[in-house]
A and B are shown apart, each in its own frame.
Chain A
Amino acid sequence: MRVLLAAALVALASPVLAETPEQRLDALDKRITRLEDMNQVEKLQRVYGYFVDKGQWTQLSELFADDATLEIGGKGLFLGKKRVLEYMQTAFGKDGPKEGLLANHMQFQPVVDIAPDGKTAWVRSRAFVMSVGGWGLPLYEDEFTKQNGVWKFSRESGPFTMYTSWKGWGHDALNNTWPDKFDPPPDLPPTTVYLTYPAYWIVPFHYPNPVTGKPFPVEPVGAYQAPPGTPEQEASLKVGRLADGTQPIAQPPRD
């Protein structure tokens, strides 16, 4: 693959007439494969969403590589395909939709990138959750791996932006979930501790700015309920939840 890549790069750098037809076809193959890979990775993310909507946990877990990881909200890290299935079936019940339950996770706005070697891919995308519990906005920074020609999830990372009741985010909001909020417990603690709306955390981007071509640091990474540097913000970093294990339902900021 590396050799092919090198060939493609050489081909790009040389005048077209200096290339052999084989070289030109190699370069073309690589570009077509990249487009196909982008489509397939987008499809995986969308298929994941449909499985969530109707509770196809077994089929959902089969979208993951054996050693994949999953982290949703503030719940912590789950390691491996089997734990993905256990997470879903323990937290949300056995396979299949439940009467009176709506948990739609509508998937959109993907930004897809394929590694130069064509074996790893990333998607930044989001879901709009419309559920009996209200509204929600998870963001995804997911990673995919191509094994024996088949793309699979290697990392699902779904930090929350905002969760609120049907009354809406002008009324109330859930700060985040946390490891022991519900069963099963995670294998590892959360990779980042952050609060959701009205606080926020800027999830690092897997890709550089597409116009400048430069990556940029999102600093400082952290949770803010008030402008950085203020006493309120300093305090907010220390307040995760109340002594009884519950999290405060925060009031949105007022002008």
Chain B
Amino acid sequence: MRRALIAIAALAVALPAHAQSVEQRIAAYKHRVDLLEDQNAIEDLQATYGYYFDKGLWNQAASLFAPGGTFEYGQRGVYIGQAHIQRAMLLFGPQGLAAGHLNNHMLLQAVITVADDGLSAKARWQGMVMLSRPGQNGVWGVGVYENAYVRQKGVWKISKLHFYVTAETDYDAGWLKSAIPMQGPSALFPPDKPPTEVYRAFPGVYIPPFDYKHPVTGKSLSDIPEPPDDVVGRK
């Protein structure tokens, strides 16, 4: 039904409003409202993921993923499917936030692009991170999410979550004195695939590829060159 409407809507968009029949206009406007609602649903979905992840609600967080969905955090590798994702999250602490832990992953600055068929979407998010564990110094972190979503039977789910760590530092020391490297793949709960991209966190620099086109020029942003990195071996 939705597909048929979209076809009508696509046809209608090409015509000026007053050259269209009332039915064509209603179909076109319904499609535009659908896309607005989809964007809001995705914003809510990702924000909800954040609230679950903060508090160690791994079972709830993992349930937001589509079957075959992927989870990739820093250089830990790729976990595929809800069961493996939930296990990967145990590397951040036990189910239910442990005493004295802080696992805040604040999500902001969403740039959400819903596909015109309303069945998939992509989004870039800014991730601010505040961590602590008993007996350890607090940690400030920051990174970028490049995520993908899929709509199945009317419900939006996460099909890909990829958090690129930009930097992590000791809360008291700051960037000039402390740069915490990312963790690699776990030996305890190994990932299904190695990291999709190899890069370093601060002091290294890396540009998580942009999923969206330039909003003014319409040009792709995929040809922006990555900065060289002697350690990683990127020229």
Residue ranges of A at the interface with B (Cβ–Cβ < 8 Å) = 21-22, 25-26, 28-29, 32, 35-36, 39-40, 43-44, 46-47, 49-50, 53-54, 56, 59, 62-63, 96-102, 104, 106-108, 128, 130-132, 134, 150-152, 166
Contact = CB atoms under 8 A, between A and B. Distances in A.
10 contacts: A22-B22, A26-B17, A36-B32, A39-B39, A50-B126, A50-B144, A53-B144, A54-B205, A107-B109, A132-B175
Max chain B C-beta neighbours (<10 A), residue from A29, A35, A47, A108: A47
A111 to B, nearest CB: 15
B131 interface: no
Interface string B93-111: 0000000000000001111
Contacts of A50: 109, 111, 124, 126, 144, 210
Contacts of A62: 214, 216-217
Interface of B: 17-18, 22, 25-26, 29, 32-33, 36, 39, 108-111, 124, 126, 128, 140, 142, 144, 166-167, 174-176, 202-207, 210, 212, 214-217, 221, 224-225, 227, 229
B109 A54 contact: no
Contact of A46 (B26, B39, B109): B109
B166 A102 contact: yes
A126 B1 CA distance: 42
Nearest to B201: A102
A-B pairs with lowest CB-CB distance, top 9: A166-B174, A97-B205, A100-B203, A108-B108, A132-B175, A54-B207, A46-B109, A107-B109, A21-B22
Contacts of B229: 99
B214 to A, nearest CB: 6
B142 A47 contact: no
B215 A63 contact: yes
A97 B126 contact: no
A130 B25 contact: no
B32 A32 contact: yes
A44 B212 CA distance: 12
Contacts of A32: 29, 32-33, 36
Contacts of A101: 205
Contact of B207 (A25, A43, A97): A97
A39 B174 contact: no
Given A99-B204, A102-B202, A104-B166, A47 B111 contact: yes
B36 A36 contact: yes
Question: Which secondary structure characterizes the binding site on chain B?
Answer: mixed
Contact of B142 (A21, A40, A130): A130
Nearest to A106: B126
Given A53-B144, A102-B167, A166-B174, 13 more contacts: A21-B22, A25-B22, A29-B29, A32-B32, A39-B36, A46-B110, A47-B212, A49-B126, A53-B166, A59-B224, A63-B216, A99-B227, A100-B203
A154 to B, nearest CB: 12
Contact of B29 (A25, A47, A99): A25
Nearest to B225: A96
A87 to B, nearest CB: 18
A32 B210 CA distance: 27
B109 A59 contact: no
Contacts of B108: 106-108
A22 B202 CA distance: 57
B216 to A, nearest CB: 5
B216 A150 contact: yes
A25 B176 contact: no
A43 B229 CA distance: 31
Contacts of B207: 54, 56, 96-97
B142 to A, nearest CB: 5
Contacts of A25: 17, 22, 25-26, 29
A147 to B, nearest CB: 9
Given A26-B17, A59-B221, A152 B36 contact: no
Contacts of B205: 54, 96-99, 101
A36 B26 CA distance: 17
A29 B140 CA distance: 45
Contacts of A46: 109-111
